[in-house]
């Protein structure tokens, strides 16, 4: 790292668990972020400020004034702009060294098969069941760790789905694709603004740990937050040996 990077990331470098080597891995890392809204905003800002070298962000939507209550990567002046370009501007303002590839597209299977293999870690910040399943399937196919978050109303959840581990479940092990979960969106249910910040920040923390190579990830654990009293519940999960997504590529 150069002198400017040593100064910029000095508070990371001072951490014994991270140090110069861990920060170098972050700077050399590539994160793929699906969604640039409520969860994607803190994810992108923290990954950018922490120095992740390359960030690819995918989102088909544009900034709407109703987003501004919680989607902190966007501003009133950028209403109507693609969320990906607005988020890229926000990251660049924090850290111009980070390379942001902004793709205003839907994250379908074909695009994911192109993008996931190039990433070191994938973060699902989407807001619908079908996209979560598609992202999970691509991560399983290409053996990439997936950091997933969700938030609606006053409830949030976060986990790491890393099927590289023999006992670790993928998203479909716990939330089967055929379950057809009802779509619950912020537009109809509302969401407490800081909740997406809490969950998105945890996603960023898990991704940075994976990139730097320290600590223990949330793989095999689902953490759920009740925003009414800020209480956390953790569920430990194992792999479903009959899972239609990860059974075929099960680690032996």
Q: Which residues are catalytically annotated?
A: 186
What are 71's strand-pairing partners? none
Distance CA 225, CA 229 (A): 9
CA 210 vs CA 15, 70, 110, 233: distances in Å: 16, 26, 25, 23
Which helix or strand (DSSP H or E) is residue 158 part of? strand 155-161
C-alpha to C-alpha distance for 229 and 66, rounded to whole angstroms: 26
Contacts of 95 (CB under 8 A, 6+ apart): 8, 48, 49, 51
């Amino acid at each position: 790292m150069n002198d400017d990077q040593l100064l910029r990331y000095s508070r990371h470098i001072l951490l014994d668990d991270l140090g110069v080597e861990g920060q170098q891995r972050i700077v050399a890392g590539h994160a793929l972020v699906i969604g640039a809204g409520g969860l994607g905003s803190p994810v992108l800002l923290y990954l950018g400020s922490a120095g992740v070298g390359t960030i690819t962000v995918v989102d088909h939507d544009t900034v709407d004034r109703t987003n501004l209550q919680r989607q902190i990567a966007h501003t009133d002046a950028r209403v109507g702009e693609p969320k990906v370009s607005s988020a890229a501007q926000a990251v660049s303002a924090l850290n111009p060294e980070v390379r942001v590839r902004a793709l205003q597209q839907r994250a379908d299977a074909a695009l994911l098969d192109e993008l996931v293999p190039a990433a070191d870690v994938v973060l699902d910040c989407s807001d619908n069941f079908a996209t979560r399943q598609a992202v999970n399937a691509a991560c399983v196919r290409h053996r990439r760790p997936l950091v997933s978050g969700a938030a609606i109303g006053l409830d949030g959840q976060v986990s790491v789905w890393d099927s590289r581990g023999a006992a670790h479940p993928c998203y479909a092990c716990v939330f089967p694709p055929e379950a057809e979960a009802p779509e619950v969106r912020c537009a109809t249910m509302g969401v407490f603004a800081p909740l997406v910040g809490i969950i998105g920040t945890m996603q960023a923390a898990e991704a940075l740990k994976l990139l730097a190579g320290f600590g223990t990830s949330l793989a095999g654990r689902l953490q759920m937050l009740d925003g009414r009293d800020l209480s956390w519940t953790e569920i430990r999960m194992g792999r479903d040996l009959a899972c239609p997504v990860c059974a075929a590529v099960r680690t032996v």
